[in-house]
A and B are shown apart, each in its own frame.
Chain A
Amino acid sequence: MSEQALALVTGASRGIGRAVAETLAKQGYKVVGTATSESGAASIREALQAVGAGNDAIVLNIADAEQTAEALKAFLAEHGTPAVLVNNAGITRDNLFLRMSDEEWNAVINTNLSGVFRVCKAMVKPMIKAKAGAIVNISSIIGTTGNAGQANYAAAKAGLEGFTRSLAQEVAARNITVNCVAPGFIKTDMTDVLPEAQKDAILSTIPSKRLGQPEEIAGAVAFLASDAAKYITGQTIHVNGGMNMG
């Protein structure tokens, strides 16, 4: 790269997002990670600046349309147009459907689906001007298989994949790719909270017989972000130890 390419990674304070941010930084990208709190942003900044001094972090709450618009405007003014956008930030509010409240439903749809819409809304225009970009959305195996207790999460992730295919068609001729990486069960804070019995049940369905590591998701993201993947768009790459082979 003649000029250091910029990557924006949402939800980078822990788990998959952190691994993606660190992997891209190690590959030579200038990475800006986001977190919903100042302390989260500080932790990202510290980790990323250990890799490269130019890396940074910002506070971004994609559930809040106004804050997102303002924070991303400031981001664009300070750092310029990203070559790579990784929409990773997401939440869970698990409950059985019969017990699921409107609040639990709306919170997950608002962050995991509408939040990605908002971030893309801010980033696609400058990417079109730059006539370059790679957007990678972090979906989930649950978007394909469904999961008891995760109707909201499954709907948001399946919706995200449909969104990805539509946006991909609109911007493909502008040299912008839009893809999903759909992780299976990855060892993160999000899966650590699952009961042991459920973890054992999940493991029995994974041919690899282990949970994935966040770095194994980061590898797929980095590939889709790279020039080697310029002709891949509108796709979902499943990284799940063989748990679902389509």
Chain B
Amino acid sequence: MSNIEERVKKIVCEQLGVKEEEVKPASSFVDDLGADSLDTVELVMALEEEFETEIPDEDAEKLTTVQEAIDYIVANL
């Protein structure tokens, strides 16, 4: 679990070019971390690659915060 959390945070930092201390569980990719719509698509692509899974578009749209992404990966891995 904590391992997944760390991996998700690491990818968020890499993809959005933000510092680790800025990435809180409640951080919104768009509102807090400055992602544009294509950034969020890329973020989902990076998560798919890291966790070797496919995230359907209808699920991907619901992943708006760091915690939502972590929960999704935990639930679907």
Q: Which residues of A contact B (CB under 8 A)?
A: 125, 128-129, 170-171, 173-174
Q: A129-B42, A171-B38 are in contact. List 11 more A-B contacts (CB 8 A).
A: A125-B45, A128-B38, A128-B41, A128-B42, A128-B45, A129-B45, A129-B49, A170-B38, A173-B38, A174-B38, A174-B42
Per the bound structure, the CA–CA distance linking A170 and B42 in Å amounts to 12
Q: Smallest CB-CB separation from A131: which chain B residue?
A: B42
Mask: chain B, 36-65; 1 = CB below 8 Å from A; 0 = not: 001001100100010000000000000000
Give the chain A neighbours of B45 by CB distance below 8 A: 125, 128-129
Number of A-B pairs whose CB atoms are under 8 Å? 13
Q: Which residues of B contact A (CB under 8 A)?
A: 38, 41-42, 45, 49
- Taking CB atoms, residues of chain B closer than 8 Å to A171 are 38
CB B11 to nearest CB in A, in angstroms, measures 13
- The B contact surface, by secondary structure, is helix
For A170, list chain B residues within 8 Å (CB): 38
Closest residue of B by beta carbon distance from A129: B45
Chain A residues lying within 8 Å of B41, measured Cβ to Cβ, are 128
Q: Can you name the residue of chain B whose Cβ is closest to the Cβ of A173?
A: B38
Query: How far, in angstroms, from A172 to B49 measured CA to CA in the complex?
Result: 23
Q: Chain B residue with minimal CB distance to A126?
A: B45
CB distance from A49 to the nearest CB of B (A): 33
Q: Hey, which chain B residues are within 8 Å of A129, CB to CB? A: 42, 45, 49
A-B contact pairs, 13 of them (CB 8 A): A125-B45, A128-B38, A128-B41, A128-B42, A128-B45, A129-B42, A129-B45, A129-B49, A170-B38, A171-B38, A173-B38, A174-B38, A174-B42
Q: How far is B22's CA from A180's CA once the two chains are assembled, in angstroms?
A: 42
